[in-house]
Structure 1
């Protein structure tokens, strides 16, 4: 059965904008903000649990749900802060995240995005992951979207890139391309 509408569970307008830019022509996308407590665990465990719980909630719009989890993994710290980046960024800010790597020569990092899709309550979520390797640098560019100002890919931070370029190479863009291909195969 063709997908007529997809509920993206997010309150983040920047994420919504990026998702609409990549998926908007495939399926009508609705957005709903839900306060979902995140479990501790691996990237996949957190993503699947979040999606299962979102699908189980009686949504106003109804239908299949899409959740997203973003990680920033410092290679020198064995992939920390990873899925806990939101809390690290809130507590430490951009400068504090940089300071975590002061004692290490290795400033490389991986930006990881995991989308989980679930048709509804009781269904097993499908996972679509994208990774981009870059490095952590002092903040450059606008500071209105998470840790974008400190993640550099080939000489530019995500914050310095125009949106189309970022969408074409970012962790989120890579995950969304996989999701988009899957959605197209379901039509």
Structure 2
């Protein structure tokens, strides 16, 4: 059996969501690392985080980066949503789009996997289209990503969904399904 993969997160709720989707086929262990935040595209950020984590852990790692892209703003705040939300709150995210008719957005989750130091990360990305709405429902996460109440998919915000429902359609679930398919294709080969 393959060694467990170190999922680099300090967020217990995010860990629970990843484990619910990947286990028991892929064993996940949580490891919290304080990785420097870098600027770049969604893919560049995930790639850098994965390389750095693989060096620090000296083994297989999985990192995740989440973005919320507003179409009216050319994809911003994108991977910087954490800081936008921290500074503006839910109402501030809505205010960013106040001057625009287009409230559409895309939730993007990028996972990067590396079997260890010196290996190029493999990127798995999931995208869920939606729109930005005034906050509804409780926050599913005690901290990041706290934008669940303002991201609506087919009439419900992520915060209004049960975990099992969200795990079927979320950007994270879509990325994890790609990762799971890739791991299944690697069984019997040297991944």
Supply the distance in 2 between the matched residues of 1:19 and 1:144 (Cα, whole angstroms): 14
How far 1:4 moved relative to its partner? Answer: 2.3
Matching residue of 1:38? 37
Supply the distance in 1 between the matched residues of 2:159 and 2:2 (Cα, whole angstroms): 33
Q: SS at 1:105's partner residue?
A: coil
Q: SS at 1:141's partner residue?
A: coil
Which of the residues 70, 89, 108 maps onto 1:93?
A: 89
1:14 aligns with 2:13: yes
How far 1:144 moved relative to its partner? Answer: 4.4
Matching residue of 1:66? 62
Supply the distance in 2 between the matched residues of 1:135 and 1:45 (Cα, whole angstroms): 25
8 A Cα contact 2:59 2:117, kept in partner: no
Equivalent positions of 1:84-163 (< 5 A) are 84-145=80-141, 146-163=146-163
8 A Cα contact 1:5 1:63, kept in partner: no
Q: SS at 1:8's partner residue?
A: strand
8 A Cα contact 2:85 2:93, kept in partner: yes
Supply the distance in 2 between the matched residues of 1:68 and 1:123 (Cα, whole angstroms): 17
Gaps of 5+ in 2: none
Q: SS at 1:122's partner residue?
A: coil
Following TM superposition, the consecutive aligned residue runs of length 4 or more in structure 1 with deviations greater than 4 angstroms are: none
CA-atom RMSD in angstroms:
1.0
Gaps of 5+ in 1: none
How far 1:70 moved relative to its partner? Answer: 0.2
TM-score (norm 2): 0.93
Supply the distance in 2 between the matched residues of 1:49 and 1:135 (Cα, whole angstroms): 29
How far 1:80 moved relative to its partner? Answer: 0.2
